[in-house]
Chains A and B, each alone.
Chain A
Amino acid sequence: MMILSGVDEADFKFMLSATGTTKGNLSSHADRLEQAGYIEITKSFNGKIPNTRYRLTPAGKSALEKYWAVIDEMRALSGKGP
């Protein structure tokens, strides 16, 4: 999600190279994030080659913002504020 927040849209290979994770791991993470409404997955074909593209949804963006707000709050409380 952090990677997707830096770009508009990214495909499966880009995500794979950027995260350095395995194909299965990335797929299962992406599916669950899609189910949670955080990312949008578009599947298409480039000729005969499948092309999966990911995009952060507004709900995902807001979840990420909330997440960082909580982290900042916790760090401020523990004296390691931003």
Chain B
Amino acid sequence: MSDSPFQNGKQAEDIRQIPRWTRRYAMNRRSFGVALNIGVFLFLFGVIKGFSHLSGVAHRAGETFLSYLLFAPALIACVVVCVGSIYLSVPKWGGRKLEGLLKRLEGRGGSATLSVPGNTKKRRWDMLVAGGLFACCIVACVCLGSLGYIPSTYMQPVSALYSVPFLLFLAYRLWPIAGPIPLLWPLLYSVHAVLILAGAPILFTGSWEGLNILIPVGGYGMLTSLIGFAYSRYALRRLKRLARIEGGENGPETQAIDADES
């Protein structure tokens, strides 16, 4: 039997990684909820786009009744998106219910809180200012785009000018809680913009033009969230393996239990 409480130095170093992997697991485990939110909105936007496109085709073919019939789901989805966004953004109405639903979804894994620097809790106004500026930029961009001042080809690169700083700001504000994975979203968004400016054939044309914004916003957001979720599962597996090594050794837990039993 070895004198050392660990069989080798590597094992001791592995066990030292437990707090780090715990943090990584706790940081990314809520990504599934974010992916689910984005997925629901992407689905609804898909319904709007798909059914309005089919309705247009039916209208042009002279099938008026069919075009109205196909337009109805798009209209319903539109109303759901508008009402749903307002309902979920107000904590008193649906925000807390959504939080409760996400907690139930993640309930099997329990919950953990990570330390947040004291000043982060107090500085809420900068989030409001950044959110307000972001919303103003979106409205200005959409208006300029519809007036023809911004060509539709360059809508995504122009939107990157304000979306990337905003996403970086969000990642900075969530840093102690969310870790580095949210940075992937602005990174992919910037790369997409650079590729468009470089003339890469990644632009949708015709009736699918809307996907030029929808894919970078929703698609990359969902991809980032799913990567975060997959990483949290990996972190949990590592954590369980490390906890098994530690559980079999003479750690402070066991010492406390031994003292209690003696």
A67 nearest CB neighbor, chain B only: B252
Expressed in whole angstroms, the Cα–Cα distance for A33 and B3 within the complex equals 25
Whether B19 lies near A3 (C-beta < 8 A) is yes
Whether B256 lies near A5 (C-beta < 8 A) is no
Whether A7 lies near B114 (C-beta < 8 A) is yes
Whether B112 lies near A14 (C-beta < 8 A) is yes
Expressed in whole angstroms, the Cα–Cα distance for A6 and B114 within the complex equals 8
Whether, in the assembled complex, B118 has its beta carbon less than 8 Å from a beta carbon of chain A, the answer is no
Whether, in the assembled complex, B196 has its beta carbon less than 8 Å from a beta carbon of chain A, the answer is no
Considering residues B12, B21, B107, B108, which has the most beta carbons from chain A within 10 angstroms of its beta carbon?
B12
Q: Mark A25-54, 1 if CB is under 8 A from B, else 0.
A: 000010011011010000000000000000
B103 → chain A, closest Cβ, in Å? 9
Whether B256 lies near A38 (C-beta < 8 A) is yes
Whether, in the assembled complex, B113 has its beta carbon less than 8 Å from a beta carbon of chain A, the answer is yes
Instruction: State the main secondary structure of chain B at its contact with A.
Output: helix
Chain B residues with CB under 8 A of A35: 256, 260
Size range of the chain B interface in the assembly: 35 or more
Expressed in whole angstroms, the Cα–Cα distance for A67 and B21 within the complex equals 20
Whether, in the assembled complex, B63 has its beta carbon less than 8 Å from a beta carbon of chain A, the answer is no
A42 → chain B, closest Cβ, in Å? 12
Whether A32 lies near B115 (C-beta < 8 A) is no
Considering residues A7, A9, A15, A75, which has the most beta carbons from chain B within 10 angstroms of its beta carbon?
A7
Could you tell me which A residues sit within 8 Å of B by CB distance? 1-3, 5-21, 29, 32-33, 35-36, 38, 63-64, 67-68, 71, 74-75, 78, 80-82
Could you tell me which B residues sit within 8 Å of A by CB distance? 3-6, 8-9, 12-13, 15-16, 18-23, 25-26, 107-115, 236, 239-240, 243-244, 246-247, 251-253, 255-257, 259-260
Beyond the given A3-B239, A8-B114, A21-B247, could you list 17 further A-B residue pairs with CB under 8 A, ordered by the A residue number?
A1-B251, A2-B15, A2-B18, A6-B18, A6-B22, A7-B23, A7-B112, A8-B115, A14-B112, A17-B109, A21-B243, A33-B257, A35-B256, A36-B260, A63-B252, A67-B252, A68-B16
Can you list 24 A-B pairs with a CB-CB distance of less than 8 A? A2-B243, A2-B251, A3-B22, A5-B18, A6-B18, A7-B23, A7-B114, A7-B115, A8-B112, A10-B113, A11-B110, A13-B111, A18-B239, A20-B240, A32-B260, A38-B252, A38-B253, A63-B252, A67-B255, A71-B5, A74-B5, A80-B4, A80-B8, A80-B9
